[in-house]
A and B are shown apart, each in its own frame.
Chain A
Amino acid sequence: MSTKLEDIVRDATIEVDAVNKKENRTLYKKREPIFPKRAVGQFRRLKWLIMIITLSIYYLVPFLRWDRGPGAPDQAVLIDFPGNRFYFFFIELWPQEVYYITGILIVAALLLFFFTSLFGRVWCGYSCPQTVWTDLFIAVERWVEGDRNARIKLHRAPWSLEKIGKYCLKHTIWLLIGIATGGAWVFYFADAPTLFVELFTLQADIMAYSFVALLTFTTYTLGGLAREQVCIYMCPWPRIQGAMMDEDSLQVTYKLDRGEPRGRAKKAHDDESFGDCIDCKQCVVVCPMGIDIRDGSQLECINCALCIDACDAIMDKMGTPRGLIAYDTDANLARRIAGKAEQFTLLRMRTVVYAFAILFVCAVMSYVLVTRSSLDLNVLRDRNPIFVKLSDGSIRNGYTVKILNKERSVRQFAVSVDGLPVETLKINDIEDNGAAPIVEVKPDSLRSVHLFISVNEADLASASEPVTITVTDTENGNSVTYDSVFIGPEK
């Protein structure tokens, strides 16, 4: 019986795999752990330096003091939510001046565009908090568990006391860094030395502890656990920056024109038919993103330049020139292949436009900041009733006058009105001194007074007359004006 069946089976069989074969189908990608090897070289040194500078700024700035006189906080950088103020060294911002923050954000964004168009992803590679903290967390991991090979060995080893102990130590240090990060964050919102003591004596506000907990969690999770996943899956910047870069932007590049064809044969036989790349994969093992730079420009590459250090070290040993992996441009690659000389073009349309945009915004901001008045005036005309007729037949309008004294001293302001044949000028509960009523405003505060202007009906040329209200500092003569209208009956 079997012969016939076997024939049928044989005839029906085709050597093919289903396109969507189950074991080839992966809806979700397993994360492969990355064990970056320690790199040594100029870029690694630069990264250490930038890490020290940025972390020092972050952790220490809240403790800088800045004397603003009595009654004002002496913290150099303070976001005072209860007091509605933002303090930055000599600058003191009120909530209505939040546009300064907008200006700073615009300059920051333009700077980011500018540097990206010039030097590629330098932000990602050196100064992004994700990069800095991940770098710190990897350094801790390396200190506890050893370099790449030791870590891989430990990772693959079965659970043992030593493994548990090392993992516990690593995660504890990570959590402590997280707590320090969250702790430093809250210092920007309250007097740092006071809050420092309060945090440790359990006297601080529940909000402070909540934010410390939240930032501990995010620092530990993003910097320790998620690492490269943040850059690859969460961050929008790698996707956006393509728009800022062109063929003249510097990128960490494997010079394939020099390296290819790669192979160990060169090392073994000094074979001239091979390129300079000996395929030692040192650039791969130092990469914190787990990529091979030789595959070309990739979304995952944060341009941290550690592969440059790794490759340069090998080139030194090989006696070949450094810079097989280096900051390079696509244009230069094309030029070299075409046999032309390298050329770095920094002055390009987009870099010039970005530079001018930065200068323009900075100039506008500086101008506004320098000419900023320590006095502000807002006038709201009464609308209900629009005007009041008095017993002597004159017409009266009411105005809510808000005077903002941004100085740290009591100031006296004379309120005067121009553009109308004013009969009487009155502010409730303020003695009329025969000239302009004087309003006293406390330091660093706003005072709202009700101003009444009366005009003889016969003196009104039309139903709506322009009027200018002026507030003048009686001491230094500084003044601000506000244009409003005076409304009377229809003529």
Chain B
Amino acid sequence: MAGTPRKDEISGVDTTGHKWDDIEELNNPLPRWWLWVFYASVLWSVVYWIAMPAWPGISDYTKGMLGYSQRSIVQNELAAVKASRAEWDQQILNSSLEEIVKDDTLNQYALAAGKAAFGDNCSGCHGSGAQGGKGYPNLNDDHWLWGGSLEDIHTTIAYGIRSTHEDTRVNDMSAFLRDEILEKSEISDVAEYVMSLSGTATDAQAARRGEELFVDNCVACHSEGGLGNRDLGAPNLADSLWLYGGDKATIVQSISYGRKGVMPTWEARLDPVTVKALSIYVHALGGGE
């Protein structure tokens, strides 16, 4: 509460008149140097206005004489980082994939670069954790259509699948129903057989019927026992992983109308260093061979 200033008897100092809970505030003067420091700060602020960016305008601001700009500092720092990367990029470019993986430092660099590039370019289809989805392979597991070695992965990324690249990987799963190669009932039997390979068939008789049809129509690509053929990009049908789904309806769908997955060629879009880094990153996800 504001009151009337009075002289405090004990200290002999005037009070400010402010009183809270019977505690009064003494009006001790500040030291004069404090006032000088205050004036110096005011002067300093003027210097600062002149030297540094300070006043906003309508479309611009006062730039200051020192030319300080946080934006240009960041740009310089980014340029410096980029320049420091050049040396590493050159080493990645000149080394084989195996050599990079064996060099711990280069490997760490490639993994970091690959992770960033994966987020920018691959996660749209393969997911941010490379976990994939229906029609988009999970890159963490050990099931590979075209092989899981460093070289295989590098080729797939560089050339793509069914892409515009002349060396693109292409596989050809026929549409057995649409092209009238098999009847609906026959396709159902083949599906039962395919499911029996991974122990999920429900109709043993139909599976036996399907086996003959499988030998006639499918073994050429999917190999005997449905173990697949990586040279042709034909998936292993005997394991427990499915790109499109392992239930009967989906398998029937795949046989009836075929599958034509697409992956773009990245050779034209990304520089060779990034493609190498991506290969190493994907290889290290856990399924690499």
Which residues of A approach B to under 8 Å, CB–CB? 19, 26-31, 226, 229, 232-233, 382-385, 388-393, 396, 398, 428-429, 450, 452
Q: A385-B140, A390-B141, A391-B141 are in contact. Are A29 and B30 (CB under 8 A)?
A: yes
A contact face: mostly helix, strand, loop, or mixed: loop
Of the A-B pairs whose beta carbons lie under 8 Å apart in the complex, a sample of 23, sorted by A's number, is A27-B29, A28-B32, A28-B34, A28-B35, A29-B29, A229-B31, A229-B33, A232-B31, A233-B34, A382-B129, A384-B128, A388-B131, A388-B141, A389-B241, A390-B143, A391-B141, A393-B239, A396-B140, A428-B284, A428-B288, A429-B107, A450-B284, A452-B286
Q: How far is the CA of A390 from the CA of B127 in the complex (A)?
A: 18
Q: A390-B141, A398-B286 are in contact. Are A30 and B34 (CB under 8 A)?
A: no
Contact B240 A389 (CB under 8 A): yes
Which partner residue on chain B sits nearest A394 by CB separation?
A: B240
Q: A385-B131, A392-B240, A428-B288 are in contact. Are A27 and B31 (CB under 8 A)?
A: no
Contacts of B35 in A (CB 8 A): 28
B contact face: mostly helix, strand, loop, or mixed: loop
Which of B102, B140, B236, B241 has its CB near the most chain A CB atoms (within 10 A)? B140
Q: A396-B286, A429-B102 are in contact. Are A391 and B239 (CB under 8 A)?
A: yes
Contacts of B129 in A (CB 8 A): 382-385
Count of A-B contacts with CB under 8 A? 73
Q: A429-B101, A429-B102, A452-B286 are in contact. Are A390 and B33 (CB under 8 A)?
A: no
Which partner residue on chain A sits nearest B283 by CB separation?
A: A428
Asked if B256 lies at the interface with its beta carbon under 8 angstroms from chain A, I say no
Please, what's the 1-or-0 string for B259-289, where 1 marks a CB less than 8 Å from any CB in chain A?
A: 0000000000000000000000000101010
Q: A428-B288, A429-B101, A450-B284 are in contact. Are A393 and B30 (CB under 8 A)?
A: no
* Contact residues of B between 97 and 139, Cβ < 8 Å to A: 101-102, 107, 127-131, 138
Contact A391 B101 (CB under 8 A): no
Contacts of B102 in A (CB 8 A): 429
Closest Cβ of chain B to A449, distance in Å, is 10
Contact for A28 among B30, B140, B141, CB less than 8 A: B30
Contact B240 A391 (CB under 8 A): yes
Contacts of A429 in B (CB 8 A): 101-102, 107
Contacts of A29 in B (CB 8 A): 28-32
Closest Cβ of chain B to A400, distance in Å, is 11
Contact B141 A389 (CB under 8 A): yes
Contact B241 A391 (CB under 8 A): yes
Contact A28 B240 (CB under 8 A): no
Asked if B224 lies at the interface with its beta carbon under 8 angstroms from chain A, I say no
* Contact residues of B between 210 and 242, Cβ < 8 Å to A: 236, 239-241
Q: How far is the CA of A392 from the CA of B102 in the complex (A)?
A: 28
Asked if B142 lies at the interface with its beta carbon under 8 angstroms from chain A, I say yes
Closest Cβ of chain A to B66, distance in Å, is 16
Please, what's the 1-or-0 string for B42-59, where 1 marks a CB less than 8 Å from any CB in chain A?
A: 000000000000000000
Closest Cβ of chain B to A427, distance in Å, is 11
